[in-house]
Amino acid sequence: MMRHLYVIFALLLLTACDDGDIITVDLEFDKELDLCTNNTESFLIYDTRENPNESLSLIIPRGNNEEFPFTEATPVGEPIEFNLQQIGNRFIYRTYNRSIVDGELCSPIPPANLTIVEDYEADAGTAFATVSIEDDDNDGIPNTFEYGPGGIDNPRNSDDDEFPDYIDQDDDNDNVLTINEIETDDIDGDGDPSNNLDTDGDGIADYLDEDDDGDGVDTILEDANQNKDPRDDRNLNAEGVEVPDYLNVLEATDHGNPGLAGGNIYTRTVTVNFLIEDFNLDILSATEIDFGTLTYDITFIEEADD
């Protein structure tokens, strides 16, 4: 763990008083924060290091049915503030008798052989959390391509449903997921897999094409068994190869619309940067420190209709 945690006191040097003696405290953490979610009343956000064995922890309140501490981005220049003098907000520095194993601080019952040697809690200060998010449907198309000309502020929604393309697993609502309608090998080498598969050569990639084989029957209608999955209805094409009917111009039967398969899953990556200002831990104080960055994923699932 290679983070240098400096206090702005005599040129970024942490200093402290202990019984009248001036000591120097050098905290080298990696700034890669971890999260404990097993306490129903609070979240524990922490960093650890070895040699010496230390931890820095921020504890913040947890609301009812709150699975994660942060789910939405903060406006630019408007971080979330946690007053360390308020009940429930705590910033703690501890040392231990041995190194800390991953996840050990999350245990509701501390290991018998782990002893806290020093324990200091800030009695003042403010923690600031700046949150950014990135959503992705993990369909093989990079977000930068799925945003379209409008960018993230006005993202493209090809099928005009409730999900913009970058969080829509089926961009054209043909009951064939986007990830099953693209070439992921980037054959032409331009970094964009979205233009690699265009079965009917009409200039519209299959994952955005309602009629993938150009036979005049929309893909969603070429579902012979009406199970909302056109991929398992197959016949021989002109080359004698068995392929799905929606990719076979020899099969152009309209079986009727079975309805949308429905359901959608996308992932939100949450990144939180923490800054602690004007804190006092008894043995040390600081004007400002970069506590580090916390990153975690949230999965959003919309169940399909029965």
- Average pLDDT in the 209-232 region? 98
- Cβ contacts of residue 91 below 8 Å, gap of 6+? 56, 57, 58, 59, 84, 121, 122, 125, 127, 276, 279, 281
d(CA 197, CA 185): 11
Query: What does the alpha-carbon distance between residue 210 and residue 107 come to, in Å, rounded to a whole number?
Result: 52
pLDDT band at 281 (very low <50, low <70, confident <90, very high): confident
For residue 250, pLDDT beyond 70? yes
Q: What is the mean pLDDT of the chain?
A: 89
Q: If you write DSSP's letter for every residue of 185-213 in order, what string do you get?
A: S-TTSSS-GGGS--TT-SSS-GGG-SSTT
Place 282 in a pLDDT band, splitting at 50, 70 and 90: confident
Cβ proximity of 222 and 230 under 8 Å:
yes
**Dihedral sign, Cα of residue 219, residue 224, residue 230, residue 236:** negative
- Distance, CA of 13 to CA of 1 (rounded, Å): 19
Residue 184's pLDDT band (boundaries 50, 70, 90)?
Answer: low
Residue-by-residue DSSP string for 95-114:
EESSPPPTTGGG-SS--TT-
Q: Cis omega (within 30 of 0) on the bond before 52?
A: yes
State the number of CA atoms in the 13 A half-sphere of 199 facing the CB: 22
Average pLDDT, stretch 42-63? Answer: 96
Residue 9 scores a pLDDT above 50: no
Residue 226 and residue 239: Cα distance in Å, rounded? 26
pLDDT in tens, 11-37: 333 444 444 444 445 567 999 999 999
Q: What is the rounded distance in angstroms from the CA atom of residue 62 to the CA atom of residue 22?
A: 38
State the first-to-last Cα distance of the chain, in angstroms, to the nearest integer: 50
Q: Are 47 and 290 in contact (CB under 8 A)?
A: no
In sequence order, the 6+-apart residues with CB closer than 8 A to the CB of 122 are: 84, 90, 91, 92, 276, 279, 280, 281
pLDDT of residue 19: 44
Predicted local confidence at residue 191, as pLDDT: 66
Q: Residue 290 gets which letter from DSSP?
A: E
Average pLDDT over every residue of 95-113: 92
